[in-house]
Amino acid sequence: MKFIQFYLVSVFLTILLAPSYAVAHRVNIFAWMEGDDVAVECGFSRDSPARDGRITVFDAKSGEELLQGVTDKKGHFRFPVPQSVRRDAHGLRIRVNAGEGHQSEWLIAADELTLSCALPDARTQPSATEAAAHVAASASLLSMSGDGDTQEAVRRIINEALDAKLAPIRHDLAAAAASGPGLQEIIGGIGWILGIAGIALYFKGRRG
């Protein structure tokens, strides 16, 4: 009896003290723009961050390795957008390797980069109807400010404010896309297995 008690206590102690990182299915990675920086977050499930995960950033088009880093205690990593990628309008491919064979990737498209980092010549051209209203509105602004530099500065400030406001929403979207399987999927999986077994039984039964 004493042995069993000791055994149960030791089981619960080891479970309590055990690290959880390796008992996971896959590592999730999200990345989003925050101003001129790219913020990366890595985790195993909703509340367990991937500490000390090795981050490697590639040019999405050429496959060239741009920079490396390690996530912090909360699974976060930040890096400024490399100049070469911004200049050539390539995307970013961010890879995390969290050890024990857990690896994931996240793509940041080129247009997302250029949207966030105000580039004077890479702006999207407004359509004809929009342009008319635009000219009228910006005419007064220009008459006050005088040159294109100020306009660019305003644009930059607006972009930064929008990024700051949108960052949590982007993060939530990414988190929702990577959430674990729900009840429906689990039950669906059981159904698949029983279905396969049923088909196997049918064919084995026909053969006799």
Partner 1 sequence: MHISEGVLSPAVLGAGAALTAMGTAVGLRKLDYDRLMTVAMLSAAFLVASLVHVPVGFSSVHLMLNGLLGVLLGFAAFPAILAALALQALLFQYGGLTILGVNTFCMAFSGVLAGYCFKAVARICPGPKGQKAAAFCGGALGVALAGLFTASALAFSDEGFVTTAQLLFLAHLPVMLLEGIITMFMTSFIARVRPEMLHWR
| Min CB(201)–partner 1 separation in Å | 6
Q: Which is nearer to partner 1, 16 or 128 (CB)?
A: 16
Q: Which is nearer to partner 1, 35 or 99 (CB)?
A: 99
Q: Which is nearer to partner 1, 105 or 172 (CB)?
A: 105
Residue 122, Ramachandran bin (φ over 0: left; ψ between -120 and 50: alpha; else beta): alpha
The answer to whether 49 and 42 are in contact (CB under 8 A) is yes
Q: What is the DSSP string of 39-106?
A: EEEEEEETTEE-TTPEEEEEETTT--EEEEEE--TTSEEEEEPPHHHHHHT--EEEEEEEETTEEEEE
Segment holding 205, helix H or strand E? helix 183-207
| Min CB(119)–partner 1 separation in Å | 32
For residue 184, give both structure tokens: 């429906």
Q: Which is nearer to partner 1, 10 or 84 (CB)?
A: 10
| Min CB(204)–partner 1 separation in Å | 5
| Min CB(130)–partner 1 separation in Å | 41
| Min CB(33)–partner 1 separation in Å | 25
List residues binding partner 1 (CB under 8 A). 10-12, 14-23, 25-27, 45, 48, 97, 99-105, 180-181, 185-186, 188-190, 192-194, 196-197, 200-201, 204-205
- Residues 6+ away with beta carbon under 8 Å from 114: 86, 89, 122
| Min CB(176)–partner 1 separation in Å | 15
Decide: residue 5, CB within 10 A, 0-12 exposed, 13-18 middle, 19+ buried.
Answer: exposed
The answer to whether 34 and 166 are in contact (CB under 8 A) is no
Sign of CA dihedral 46, 49, 54, 56: positive
Q: Which is nearer to partner 1, 63 or 101 (CB)?
A: 101
Q: Which is nearer to partner 1, 26 or 155 (CB)?
A: 26
